[in-house]
Amino acid sequence: MVATPAHLLPSTSVLDNAEVLRIRNDFPALSQTVNGQPLIYLDSGATSQNPLSVIEAEQEFYEQRNAAVHRGAHHLAVEATDAFEDARQTVAVFIGANYEEIVWTSNATEGLNLISYALSNATLWAAQGRGEPRLKELAVGPGDEIVVTEMEHHANLIPWQELAFRTGATLRYIPIDGSGSLDLEQAAEIIGESTRVLAFTHASNVLGIINPVHKLVAMAREHNALVVLDACQSAPHLALDLKKLDVDFAVFSGHKMLAPTGIGVLYGKQELLDTLPPFLTGGSMITTVTMERAEYLPAPQRFEAGTQRISQAVALAAAVNYLSETGLDRIHAWESELGQRMVAGLERIEGVRVLGPAAGEERIGLAAFDVAGVHAHDVGQFLDARGIAVRVGHHCAQPLHRRLGLTATTRASAYLYNTTDDIDQFLDAVSGVRSYFRV
């Protein structure tokens, strides 16, 4: 097994620049230069970098135990299966879930589509008397409502639009107020007896705001609605206990939390996963097959058709161990400090509008902003010329940008390997954007 770096031994101390610089040494990609400048990577909200322990975990799998899981009795197949299922247990513990409640997906988007299609399949099965009697409780149809929010990433909006289209249900959304927060008074009016699903993001990938999960879940519980949590921007940064949050489903992606691309996680309460029909069908998820029909395994296998994402799952477990050993509370506290430094600095720059909570208010460690008179893509290229990597565009949240009167913004997002000097150099560069473009 890959040895744990000395600096990752359990610690109760707060992170500081000195320790972050040691952490940074674990990330090979961060040692390079870009356009002749040392790389300052502030795009972890899109994709994080990988530590050596994660890279080596995936490499070791391919070198030592590469084989199909659940399909062979030979030595490599047994070792591969053990590594694969151990990874599931590691992730389950990380988010306060049971082993059987973790479904591997390619990414969070697939997880959300899985839930959406499983619910429409529940409607079809229930109408034909197939499946468990309680499947009727999960059916969605005309007269039912699906509720999302105005700040959702497209991945947590379009699948619900399509579910409404397939079933005849109505899609509604909770608006944001002038500060970017969800309007909870309107939420209480919108979430009602007809609500079948409430889907919302834990932390906005544009606004940086952390939504009040407990309040929204309480509203849904009053009307027996299912709750789906997009945890893509929270799982990498906040200590999660999904049992305590009492959500029915949650999704997140490995590539935002130090793991490779191509691996995601769907959490679902076991009784719901065991009741819902599958989304993809084929090998590995069946008990009996005849030429007329098939019977399916219980969760999680019933949602994992075909060849598995084995090495990626093993690497995700290594990433989870890295985060756990560093300490999610320590990571969150450090990122909050960086986020506040970022927002406070941006607010002092003339012509810059920061989206989401103002300096001093709680947010995750990212900030999306608009520079008056300069397109976001030009801002991004200006920063890239100085070795600073940020995200530009609508961040897969066109309705939110439209609500804010914008077509695109620039977003900087910090992680456990960023220092205060990274933020200061970023702010210094942004302060020169308007003069460079002669605005």
Our answer to whether residue 396 is catalytic in this structure is: yes
The region, left, alpha or beta by phi > 0 then psi within -120 to 50, assigned to residue 147 is beta
- Residues 6 or more apart from 396 whose CB is under 8 A from it? 153, 154, 155, 205
Beta-sheet strands, E only, within 231-349 = 249-253, 264-268, 286-289, 294-296
Contact 41, 365 (CB under 8 A): no
Q: Which of 46, 68, 396, 406 does the annotation list as catalytic?
A: 396
| φ and ψ at residue 354, rounded to 5 degrees | -95, 135
Q: Where are the beta strands (DSSP E) in 111-222?
A: 145-149, 170-174, 195-201
CB 36, CB 355: distance < 8 Å: no
| 190-209 CB burial, b ≥16 within 10 A, e <16 | bbeebbbbbbbbbbbbbbbb
- Determine the Cα–Cα distance for residues 112 and 383; give it in Å rounded to an integer: 34
**Side-chain half-sphere of 328: how many Cα atoms within 13 Å?**
16
Reading the block at residue 228, the tokens are 């789906």
- C-alpha dist (Å) from residue 291 to 6, 125, 297, 424: 57, 19, 18, 65
Backbone angles phi, psi at 428, to 5 degrees: -60, -40
CB 186 within 8 A of CB 175: yes
| Residue 342 burial class via C-beta count within 10 angstroms: exposed 0-12, middle 13-18, buried 19 and up | buried
Q: How far apart are CA 82 and CA 173, in angstroms?
A: 43
Query: 374: which strand partners?
Result: 371
Active site residues: 396
